[in-house]
Amino acid sequence: MDNTKENKSFFRFAPLVLFVVFIFTFCILFLVMPKSDYSSTEKRKLEQFPKFSAETLFSGEFTENFETYLADQFFGRNFWKGLNSYYNLCIGNNGADRVYNGNDGYLINVPVEEKESRVQSNINTVAKFSKSIDVPVTVEIVPSTGYIMNDKLPLNHFNYNDNVYFNQIIDVCRNNNIEFIDLREAFKQIANDGTQLYYKTDHHWTTGGAYVGYEHLCKKWGITPTNKDSFNIDTYNDFYGTTYSTSGFWFTKPDTIQIWNNPENTEKNITVDIVEGDTQETYHSMYFLNHLEEDDKYPIFLDGNHPVEYITNTNVKSGRLLIIKDSFSHCFAPFTADNFNSVTLVDLRYYKGSVSEIVKEEKFDKVLVLYGIDNFATDTDLAWLK
Amino acid sequence: MVFSSIIFLFMYLPFVLLIYYIVPRKFRNLFLFIVNLIFYGWGEPIFVLLMLFSTAVDYTHGYFINKYRANKRKAKGFLISSVVINLSLLGFFKYAGFLANTLNVLPFVNLPVLTIPLPIGISFYTFQTMSYSIDVYRGDAPVQKNIITFGTYVALFPQLIAGPIVRYKDVAYQLDHRRETLDQVTHGVKLFMVGLGKKVLIANQMGAMWDAIRETGQANGVLGSWIGIAAYTFQIYFDFSGYSDMACGLGNMFGFEFLKNFNYPYISKTITEFWRRWHISLSTWFREYVYIPLGGNRKGVKRQIFNLLVVWFLTGFWHGAAYNFILWGLYYGIILIIEKFILLKWLEKLPSAIRHIYTLFIVMIGWTLFYFEDMGQLASYLYCMFDFTQGIIGQKALSITISYLPLFIAAALASTPLGAKLYEKIKYNGFVWLPETAYCAVVLILCTASLVNQSYNPFLYFRF
């Protein structure tokens, strides 16, 4: 207890020095470092210096955006985000930013709460739509990763409500003569046997998972699926998906992503037309390998999100299919191209026109509504279906 | 602007500290005056005018109260005018909508309900400026001749938006004569880090826990509902006391010493003790400027009970323009009256464990009243806290509790003086700087991570 000694030591200022050095260093680093437009790890655009005017200042818009700009462009953002996520894990949380940190490197979105669920209104919209057209409608919904891969979830987690949602959908489908493809039991069994149906770092199903969905669809429709063994499978490494990007668990191992090539499909028989606004571009492959260079590799299937896409396979003489879909269809639709001469994909998140008009013009044989359950339960754009 | 933000920590504070210590002493108040306005105007620039108006009005009133000191009537007239203007400002911005809504319930009354955003911190600074006029009138503090210095006091950014409510007489001398020392600044940094840690690492997480549990409603079960309100109990204490610590710490960094605002309220054994430890600057203000002038306990028991009810009605109403805050204030008023005249004698004979449980029970019911502005929601949450038919704890509430359990326990420990006692033991050790610096480093790094990630970081005092 040497009082005088304590008072003389320069070290007593250490907390002050640390504090001053820390806040000034990061202040200066922020000011001098170049700013980036895009975060490839988080897969999102970063906030840029906000527009300054008397109007934006007095409305509070400038100051609010400025604070987001600071956070987005803060020096070492990835480090801080990762640290925050792993710190949350250390103090007993089961994940971060609404993503569970599961076993075996599974990063799984938390369940959609029943309160937030729009399943009932969305399936009602689909039923109403099916009545307005004279083509049979089939609904196929992909169960959530957390529901199927239950054993990969952290011990402490919220319940997945897939059963509630599926029952709501089944009820409406039954009453409206809509075919429904229930993948729950098949997926549970196949997952148990060790097939990877879902990505670990992404919310989508794998190409293998999509193939199971395709098999069940064919069974329902009485058509023959392309044999599993006839595909040439290309596997690509280092795929980091969306749950990885939002969670900040940067030490998670990457996924592999597969393309199942049917050797009979070449640039001679396959055409892909992508409509974006007033422009339409034509390609001769369903796979866009240029996206392999990016962190987000999922757009290798059909080039990712677009309002409307047409796949034409001249090897198949007839059959016209319409898929009303979210991104789960991107790796799925190429399989259906083996059975239909033309497959049209409409994404209601980007397409705001009338779908029944398209149905009238194009004379489809089948209409498929294909969504992942989480999207189907939260989607607000299905309301546009008419 | 709030303290627990990137913009404050890594932009505002470095620049303000740097320039403050560069400019000559005689310009430091002027500099603080200017940056106070930037701090205040960030987000809602228009209210800077209100701040300037407040400053000018109270400066002028102080001047005349002092000038007519010999003429009691005139001085009193200016005092009353000052109090009326301050309360009118508060009334207009904070209570107009509430009063209009209340009166509109009556038949044939149809007042327009103004939706004016509440200027942040208005409840704090109008109370401070009133304390100035009253202190000058009573001769408790000298008049401030320099309007810049006075403006520095009114808008002093460390305590501007969430207290503590600094009475003018407590800082009158410091405003003109403070001498910043490195030891004081170092102490300020340490205090600031304690406050930042309380706010970002504990309060925000407890707030997220409370939000998650509250949403589940009935399905929480009895224990789940109590754990929920316990999480809120922790959130509000660590948020508010964290803010006060940061305010005192920042004050130190600029050479000011503010009085302590919280003193481990949750270890209290009676509600009377709780209110001596909770938001001390507010209780002091009401005691000094309302309760004692009303006659306090000097005019008989009946009058004392009346005075207490008035003070607690106002204390409740001060926290927000809604019925639940009034209810919350009167709830405490009545309990304090019961304690004073009946219960304290009995409580003293009980084992201290039971007294702690009694106090925490009252406090947690109190926070339930405080949280729910909607009477329907309030009633249904209170019902859940005593409804044993819904089971002990729901699946979701259990999952949330397990997730936050380590922090929940940490919050419980940090609500006691345990840490302070340990620190007391090593305080004079030559190596105390090591754990101190390590603590500051950990808090700085974890808080930065949380803020950069833009995690849940609510500002609780927008109603105050």
| Alpha helical stretches, state H, chain A | 3-8, 14-32, 54-59, 61-72, 77-90, 119-132, 145-148, 162-175, 184-192, 207-221, 242-247, 333-336, 355-362, 373-378
The CB density around residue B346, as the number of other CB atoms within 10 Å, is 9
Query: Comparing C-alpha atoms, which of A266, A83, A361 is closest to residue B201?
Result: A83
Residue A141: in which H helix or E strand, if any?
strand A137-142
- Compute the distance between CA of residue B315 and CA of residue B367 in angstroms, rounded to an integer: 14
Reported confidence tier of residue A7, pLDDT bands at 50, 70, 90: low
Which of A21, A24, A84, A247 to mutate to probe the B interface, most B CBs <10 Å?
A84
Is the model's pLDDT at A5 over the cut of 50? no
Is the model's pLDDT at B77 over the cut of 60? yes
Single-letter amino acid code for the residue at A64: E
Residues 411-450 of B with CB under 8 A from A: 428-430, 432-434, 436-437, 440-441, 444-446, 448-450
Q: By CA distance, what is B253's nearest residue in A?
A: A16
The chain-wide mean pLDDT, for chain B, equals 92
Of A81, A158, A159, Cβ closest to residue B453: A81
Six token digits for residue A367 = 């209409």
Q: Work out the percent of chain B whose per-residue pLDDT is above 70.
A: 99
CB-based contact B453 A68, cutoff 8 Å: no
CB-based contact A92 B403, cutoff 8 Å: yes
- Compute the distance between CA of residue B101 and CA of residue B422 in angstroms, rounded to an integer: 52
Is the model's pLDDT at B381 over the cut of 60? yes
Is the model's pLDDT at A3 over the cut of 50? no
Is the model's pLDDT at B133 over the cut of 90? yes
Mean pLDDT across A76-82:
94
Query: Comparing C-alpha atoms, which of A126, A183, A187 is closest to residue A346?
Result: A126
Angstroms from B149 CA to nearest CA on chain A? 27
The DSSP result for A285-332, as a single string, is -SB-GGGGGSS--GGGBTTS--SEEEEEETTS-S-EEEEEE-GGGTTT
- Compute the distance between CA of residue B181 and CA of residue B191 in angstroms, rounded to an integer: 15
pLDDT tens column, A318-365: 999 999 999 999 999 999 999 999 999 999 999 988 998 888 888 899
Residues 40-79 of A with CB under 8 A from B: 57-58, 60, 63-64, 66-68, 70-71, 74, 77
- Compute the distance between CA of residue B325 and CA of residue B333 in angstroms, rounded to an integer: 12
Angstroms from B255 CA to nearest CA on chain A? 14
Angstroms from A64 CA to nearest CA on chain B? 7
Is the model's pLDDT at A175 over the cut of 60? yes
Task: Show residues of chain B in contact with A12, CB under 8 Å.
Answer: 183, 186, 432-433
CB-based contact B7 A70, cutoff 8 Å: yes
- The predicted pLDDT at position A4 comes to 45
Of B186, B404, B452, Cβ closest to residue A12: B186
Reported confidence tier of residue B464, pLDDT bands at 50, 70, 90: low
- Compute the distance between CA of residue A249 and CA of residue B386 in angstroms, rounded to an integer: 41
Task: Show residues of chain B in contact with A94, CB under 8 Å.
Answer: 403
Residues 153-182 of A with CB under 8 A from B: 156-159
CB-based contact A3 B11, cutoff 8 Å: no
Helix, coil or strand: residue A180: strand
pLDDT tens column, A265-280: 999 999 999 998 889 9
Please, is A346 exposed, middle or buried when counting C-beta atoms within 10 Å of its C-beta (0-12, 13-18, 19+)?
A: buried
Please, is A58 exposed, middle or buried when counting C-beta atoms within 10 Å of its C-beta (0-12, 13-18, 19+)?
A: middle
Angstroms from A202 CA to nearest CA on chain B? 20
CB-based contact B11 A70, cutoff 8 Å: yes
Of A6, A71, A85, Cβ closest to residue B6: A71
Which of B1, B4, B10 to mutate to probe the A interface, most A CBs <10 Å?
B10
Reported confidence tier of residue B105, pLDDT bands at 50, 70, 90: confident
Mean pLDDT across B66-78:
91
Six token digits for residue B157 = 């950014």
- The predicted pLDDT at position A21 comes to 97
Task: Show residues of chain A in contact with B414, CB under 8 Å.
Answer: none
Angstroms from B397 CA to nearest CA on chain A? 9
- Compute the distance between CA of residue A138 and CA of residue A221 in angstroms, rounded to an integer: 9
Please, is A11 exposed, middle or buried when counting C-beta atoms within 10 Å of its C-beta (0-12, 13-18, 19+)?
A: middle
Phi, psi of B309, rounded to the nearest 5 degrees: -65, -40
Angstroms from B53 CA to nearest CA on chain A? 19
- Compute the distance between CA of residue A368 and CA of residue A351 in angstroms, rounded to an integer: 16
Reported confidence tier of residue B454, pLDDT bands at 50, 70, 90: confident
CB-based contact B45 A58, cutoff 8 Å: yes
Lowest mean pLDDT among A7-11, A252-256, B20-24: A7-11
- Compute the distance between CA of residue B320 and CA of residue B461 in angstroms, rounded to an integer: 9
Q: Is A21 an interface residue toward B (CB < 8 Å)? A: no
| Residues ≥6 apart with Cβ < 8 Å to B48 | B37, B40, B41
Task: Show residues of chain A in contact with B440, CB under 8 Å.
Answer: 15, 18-19
Known catalytic membership, residue B319: yes
Residues 233-252 of B with CB under 8 A from A: none
- The predicted pLDDT at position A2 comes to 41
Q: Are B255 and B179 in contact (CB under 8 A)?
A: yes
CB-based contact B46 A58, cutoff 8 Å: yes
CA A378 to chain centre: 13
CB-based contact A14 B436, cutoff 8 Å: yes
Query: Comparing C-alpha atoms, which of B438, B419, B436 is closest to residue B428?
Result: B436
- Compute the distance between CA of residue B151 and CA of residue B51 in angstroms, rounded to an integer: 9
Task: Give the global pTM.
Answer: 0.90
Phi, psi of A152, rounded to the nearest 5 degrees: -90, -10
Under DSSP, the state recorded for A179 is E
Six token digits for residue A4 = 């005088």
- Compute the distance between CA of residue B116 and CA of residue B137 in angstroms, rounded to an integer: 33
User: Sign of dihedral through CA atoms A245, A246, A251, A252?
Assistant: negative
Six token digits for residue A244 = 């990885």
CB-based contact B404 A93, cutoff 8 Å: yes
Q: By CA distance, what is A4's nearest residue in B?
A: B428
Q: Work out the percent of chain A whose per-residue pLDDT is above 70.
A: 98
Six token digits for residue A335 = 């399989």
Angstroms from A254 CA to nearest CA on chain B? 22
Catalytic residue among B61, B279, B319, B356: B319
Look at B35 and B115; give whichever has higher pLDDT.
B35
Pairing of strands A279-283, A308-313: unpaired
The CB density around residue B65, as the number of other CB atoms within 10 Å, is 25
Q: Work out the percent of chain B whose per-residue pLDDT is above 90.
A: 77
